[in-house]
Amino acid sequence: MRYFEKCFHIFILTTMIGFFTGVAYADLNKSNLGISKWSGDTTLRGFSNKETEKFKNSAKNQMLAYEKEHNIKLFSVVNYETRYGNTAFFVQAPGNGCYNKKTGDCNRKNGETQKRVEAHYSSFKGGEHWFTVSVKLDDWTLNNDEIILTQFHSDVPQYQNMLSLKIDNVKGLFFEHTSANGFQFVEGGSEECAAGAHDILTEDKMYCPKLYDIYKVLNKWEIKEDVWYDFVYHVNFDKENSENEFVKLWLNGKLVVNNAGQGKTLWWPTMPGIEEWENKIVFNFGIYGTKSENVFHSAYFDEIHKSSSCEKLKLERLGYACKDLNSQTQTIKPQWHDSPDLQ
């Protein structure tokens, strides 16, 4: 009996410590990113946990080793800073050391050194999808080099991402549509086509974007720390007919991206040498970018929801209504264009 009483007291003590410190550590490799599906919490909703479609993350050993050496948790669940509900994710990305795949991020073939603390949801099929992500920058210096906060990618490693929300000291907060104008074929391949695919030979990286569409979301002087930014995505991935594809993005209820009806490619086509089953869609959120400036970044992420319709997102909890979002129908054209450096 005393043994069970002791175990019970240890359990109570551990629970109380976790409650008063305000942190319950999560692991990118835990089921549902450490968020209980039975608690009623709204931090993460609408994502599958099947073997073929769930949050899957790599570089676990490198990340754990870095956390132990530097006494830091790179990805954790907290209850002291939330957009709504009980918990949020707290992401920290130092500018020193290696906590990612050594050849994939820390020592790329093209000489880049990257940092990445991302939740990686792989993989889902095409059609219309709605997403919400709320972000609060914590300790944040605007780099000259861009940092990615969210991205939609293909499961095919030879392909670059399709859509990404980025931030830097030049363009501010901006949205990049990499796949907008389709592929260009690069004879002999190039690391500029898919630098992060470390297990793919350079000569196999033959599919490069033609031109990036870039949309301004916030000017750099408008970006604030300790302010929640609510993003709502409406995307339609149709690999068979790009005329049907579009992406819409709202920030705090205001439409900032809308390319519906412009015939812009979203989902990369399945090219020769690529298996059809590989070409599915991945969604990532977190902090991902270069370590060239040796800068520490941290941010909170909350209310990350995926749904087949706006109504199922239940935006009222955040102070928005689907009818107000859908009433904004104006086409918004990109402010800038860019292209890969293939010299």
What's the pLDDT at 343? 67
> Cβ(235)–Cβ(147) under 8 Å?
no
What's the pLDDT at 240? 87
pLDDT single digits (tens) 175-213:
999 999 988 889 999 988 888 887 888 898 999 999 999
End-to-end CA distance of the chain: 74
What's the pLDDT at 340? 87
pLDDT single digits (tens) 125-142:
999 999 999 999 999 999
Q: Which residues pair with 228 in a beta bridge?
A: 136
What's the pLDDT at 28? 80
* Amino acid code (one letter) for 231: F
In 3D space, the residue among 133, 105, 108, 104 whose CA is nearest the CA of residue 121 turns out to be 133
- Residue 149 pLDDT greater than 50, yes or no: yes
Reading phi first (left if > 0) and then psi (alpha if -120 to 50, else beta), residue 321 is in beta
Domains and CATH numbers, the chain: 2-338 (2.60.120.200)
Express as a percent the part of the chain with pLDDT over 90: 63
Read out DSSP for 37-96?
A: TTS---SEES---BTTBEE----HHHHHHHHHHHT--SEEEESSS-SSSS-EEEEEE-SS
* Amino acid code (one letter) for 25: Y
